[in-house]
Amino acid sequence: MARRTPRHPAQSSVARRDVLGQWPRLFAGAALIAVVVAAVYWPSLHGDFLLDDEILVSQNNLIRAPDGLLRFWFTTQAADYWPVTNSTFWLEWRVWQANPAGYRVTNIVLHILDSVLIWLILQRLAIPGAFLAALLFAVHPVNVESVAWIAQRKNVLSLLFFLLSILWYL
């Protein structure tokens, strides 16, 4: 087993300054991704509930039920067992009610977070063009279904947790 030599205190303060010096660049990159994603997905905010959106949100009695959160996690009453996704819908019903734009805003915010996490992970792996790759992911048409269709919340949520686990592993 290889022994690690402890770092010199001056080295750790230099590393901290490097990380702190990156915040403006990270913030600017994240803001650019957010603006581009918001511009691309803006038209989706004017849509109505579609297909499964009605089953999972607008016509779902469990979403409206005060004990719906408990029932999503501990019973088989939900249409599908997606407790995290259904919990977000349950919480959002208290804010947006039957306004589909609010649910889509949440999907857009989650997609922005996913795109920024992809950038951070690729950057941590020292992949050249990490920001460009994340920006391409953010606007790629393959993601439209997951972002613009409310019922596909499970996709943007699962990607968020997957990317967070990778980032924390690194």
**What is each CA distance from 28 to 35, 95, 122, in whole angstroms?**
10, 30, 17
**pLDDT (0 to 100) of residue 4:** 54
Dig out the tokens for 76 from the structure: 């088989």
The pLDDT tens digits for 68-95 are 888 888 888 888 888 898 899 889 988 9
Q: Which ranges of the chain have pLDDT less than 50?
A: 10-12, 14-15
**pLDDT (0 to 100) of residue 51:** 83
**pLDDT (0 to 100) of residue 14:** 47
**pLDDT (0 to 100) of residue 140:** 93
Q: What is the full DSSP assignment across 82-114?
A: -HHHHHHHHHHHHHHTT-HHHHHHHHHHHHHHH
